[in-house]
Each structure stands twice: as structure tokens, then as C-alpha cells.
């Protein structure tokens, strides 16, 4: 009896329906994953955030039934994608020779500020996908972490934001901080460890299968 094909399902966010991924003999297959009907306030919030940090939001995929032949994948990128409420979120991004893209996420959106960790199915599927793509297309490039442009843009933006916050607090309060200002500063400081972890795990680097950097694939 042939073993069941590796499969993984996840809904990345409010704006996308659940996508179902499956490894067949010659291709990665997808069903579902179409754009979801988000409420008006969510669409307005997304538009506002895109104006501020265009590189910081997930791209909304058109989804639907599709096949991504292993031999047609020219780039595969594994990255660590934490958010305020998802500290174990990872993503696999594929680029095909046709210019098409596909993204697979390790966590599943279940409601506002609520996500389910699906590393148990994401990890095995992604590791096997790397091996099949490497065998089918030796010219494919494998990357861990963010692209160099996005990586440095994010960190320069965060550093500038932190310096601006310190300046504003110091200018308007003379560093005699009120309880509210102290609370805001504490929130910022609380994000610093996550920022360092994000920077360490997502430093751009190429890898050669099967030596996948462990920091960009979650442990189940």
C-alpha cells in the first residue's frame, strides 16, 4: 500500500480562506485559499497599514485550484513570520518560472486574535517539498529568511520608529514620564526581544538541501 501523500491546510488571516496543500508525484497541488469577504473596517485597516508599512502585510493570493510542478519552481524561501499573537508562525514562499507565486503558512486563523499552530503538518510537507524541488530542478535557489531589501527596510524602519518615540517622550515630558507614557514605553521595550529573535532567524542566507536552517522551519 502506498503511503498517503503529505498534506497541510491553513488559513493565513482574515482576508483569505483556508487553503489545502498536497504533494503529488510531480507537483504541489492547492485547492481553496480564495480571498475572503472581510468586513469593511478590516479592509480599511489593511489599506491604512499598506500606506505605512507596505512590506509588512501578507499578500492576498487569488487562491483556487492550482498545480505547481516541482520542476517549474525557480526559488523557494523559508522564513520566520511572527506577529504579536503568533510567535511560532512560519511561511514558505514559492516563485515559479512563469512569474506566479504561492505561499504556505504554518498557522491557521480561527478568529480575531486567535490562531491554531499547525506545525505538525506544515513542517513535514515543507521539508519534503524542498527535497522534491531540488531533485526536479537543480537550478532552483533556496533561501532562508527575508529578502535583503525587506530585511533591512524593516529594521531601519523599526529603529527610526524607536528613536522617534524616545525623542517624542523626552521632548514633551522631559523624561519625567507619566504612567501612560511609562506603559507605552514598556510595551515598546517588550517587543525588543521579539525583534532580536526575528532578526536572528530571518537573516537572509542561501542553503543547500537537505541542510535546511532549523530556525526557519517550526518544530511540531
What pLDDT does residue 41 have?
84
Q: What is the pLDDT of residues 41-79, one digit of tens each?
A: 888 888 877 776 666 677 888 899 999 999 999 999 999
Residue in the block written with cell 526575528: 198
Q: Where are the domains of the chain?
A: 7-146+205-216, 148-197
For 63, residues 6+ apart whose C-beta sits below 8 A from its C-beta are 16, 17, 19, 30, 32, 33, 34, 35
Q: How far is CA 15 from the centre of its chain?
A: 15
Per-residue pLDDT reduced to its tens digit, 150-203: 666 666 666 666 666 666 666 655 555 556 555 655 555 555 555 666 666 778
- Residues belonging to the chain: 220
What is residue 81's DSSP assignment?
Answer: -
pTM of the model: 0.78
The DSSP string of 152-200 is HHHHHHHHHHHHHHHHHHHHHHTT---HHHHHHHHHHHHHHHHHHHHHH
pLDDT computed for residue 115 by the predictor: 92
E-strand spans in 11-89?
A: 19-23, 27-32, 66-69, 73-80
Rounded CA-CA distance 110/114 in Å is 6
Cβ 84 vs Cβ 76: under 8 Å: no
Give the CA-trace dihedral at 203, 206, 212, 218, to 10 degrees.
30
Amino acid at each position: 500500500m502506498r503511503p498517503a501523500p503529505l498534506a497541510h491546510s491553513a488559513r493565513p488571516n482574515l482576508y483569505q480562506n483556508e487553503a489545502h496543500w498536497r504533494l503529488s508525484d510531480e507537483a504541489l497541488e492547492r485547492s481553496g485559499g480564495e480571498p475572503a469577504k472581510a468586513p469593511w473596517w478590516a479592509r480599511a485597516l489593511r489599506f491604512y497599514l499598506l500606506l505605512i508599512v507596505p512590506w509588512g502585510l501578507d499578500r492576498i493570493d487569488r487562491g483556487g485550484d492550482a498545480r505547481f510542478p516541482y520542476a517549474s519552481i525557480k526559488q523557494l524561501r523559508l522564513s520566520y513570520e511572527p506577529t504579536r499573537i503568533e510567535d511560532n508562525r512560519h511561511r514558505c514562499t514559492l516563485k515559479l518560472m512563469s512569474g506566479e507565486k504561492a505561499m504556505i503558512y504554518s498557522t491557521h486563523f480561527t478568529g480575531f486574535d486567535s490562531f491554531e499552530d499547525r506545525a505538525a503538518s506544515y513542517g513535514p510537507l515543507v521539508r519534503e517539498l524542498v527535497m522534491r524541488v531540488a531533485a526536479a530542478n537543480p537550478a532552483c535557489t533556496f533561501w532562508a529568511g527575508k529578502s535583503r531589501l525587506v530585511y533591512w527596510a524593516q529594521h531601519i524602519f523599526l529603529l527610526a520608529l524607536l528613536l522617534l518615540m524616545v525623542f517624542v517622550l523626552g521632548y514633551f515630558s522631559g523624561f519625567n514620564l507619566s504612567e501612560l507614557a511609562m506603559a507605552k514605553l514598556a510595551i515598546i521595550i517588550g517587543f525588543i526581544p521579539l525583534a532580536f529573535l526575528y532578526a536572528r532567524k530571518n537573516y537572509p542566507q542561501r542553503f543547500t538541501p537537505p541542510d535546511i536552517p532549523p530556525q526557519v522551519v517550526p518544530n511540531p
